[in-house]
Amino acid sequence: MKKVSDIINIASLLLVSLIFAGTMAYGKANEPESAPAASYTEYSERRTVIPCGTPFGIKMLTDGVVVTDFGAVNSSISQLSPAEAAGIRRGDIITSVNGVDVRDSLSLAAAVQLDPVCTIKALRGENELIFTANALESDKDGEYKLGMWTKDSVAGIGTMTYYDPETGYFAGLGHAVSDTSSGIKMPLLSGEITAVTITDVIRGAAGTPGELCGAFISSVEIGTLTLNSEYGVFGKCTTSPILAEPVEIAHRDEVETGKAVIYSTTGGMMPEEYEIEIVSIDRGSTSPVKNMTIRITDNGLLSRTGGIVQGMSGSPILQNGRLVGAVTHVLVNDSAMGYAVFAENMDDEYRSR
């Protein structure tokens, strides 16, 4: 192992644990027929960015509220949830109730009181749906309720993949921030990022994914979120998260099987370099974030974490001096194995918005 760089020192800690979903995968790694040989075409456009590997905290408000579960409102009347009976599903995003825009769980509860026969607008994927639900009076507090649990914010920790010093924009996670129960991508209304220090590691093992635990350094906001997408989270930093030399972003056809390294932080705030192997490459993958299968080979990292753990999502992968990808998932039945997304895919997403 070797130190990658020093990062900015900021104080004031708030203890949290890592909660982001989307970092686990089950079963065996995909085995593509055969990855095309890398082609070293002389590309005219070579983007350079700073690879990070630094942990960062995310505080995100959702655009609408996400339905996470259902329950009975008044068991003496019915065991059913009025919302579930109306056809609403886990993962639906409630945007309006009784003509009132819903921005958070409190505004949802207030809108239900206007008329117990509720007209509800919700998003399911790309489709807007309208439901009619008969709210019931709660036997606990006398308010009308729809019998559903909702989420209007998310907080957690991930790893920053790269920073663009020319624009101030960053990319991280390598996958979307999603609801843990439904897997639905959380719709971003607004968000901020803060510095983080890693305080502990829960080691991963076969069948039990590990986890990084950390503390928000919440006294200073270091950036804002502008996009939560399948390829990761993107936004703008107020200052560079790390002092390091820029590297080129590799094109997809330059990535090859064999040795590579990742930058990741498993203690404190300073990323370190660890050896990995790119086992296979699937350039035609239908999954946007499972372009490569990787294996951790660094004995130091295997000893400390057991392999890939939750919170390492976004750790940059470098090969032949270029940024080739970012860690996205761990295989639950083999924590030394996981998936990664092409860095070029992440960068294409960032530049297309």
Can you tell me the distance from the alpha carbon of 91 to that of 190, in angstroms, rounded to the nearest whole number? 19
pLDDT at residue 18 greater than cutoff 50: no
pLDDT tens, residue by residue, 170-199: 999 999 888 777 777 888 888 999 888 999
pLDDT at residue 287, as a whole number: 78
Q: Percent of the chain at pLDDT above 70?
A: 85
pLDDT tens, residue by residue, 292-326: 999 999 999 999 999 999 899 999 999 999 999 99
pLDDT tens, residue by residue, 54-109: 999 999 898 899 998 898 887 667 778 999 999 999 989 999 999 999 988 999 99
Q: State both tokens at 199.
A: 């305080």
pLDDT at residue 220, as a whole number: 67
Active site (catalytic) residues: 175, 298, 313
| Domains, the chain | 2-61+153-352 (2.40.10.120), 76-151 (2.30.42.10)
Contacts of 142 (CB under 8 A, 6+ apart): none
Can you tell me the distance from the alpha carbon of 98 to that of 135, in angstroms, rounded to the nearest whole number? 12
**Where do we find the tokens 């998932």?**
329
| Mean pLDDT within 154-168 | 91
Cα–chain center distance at 163: 17
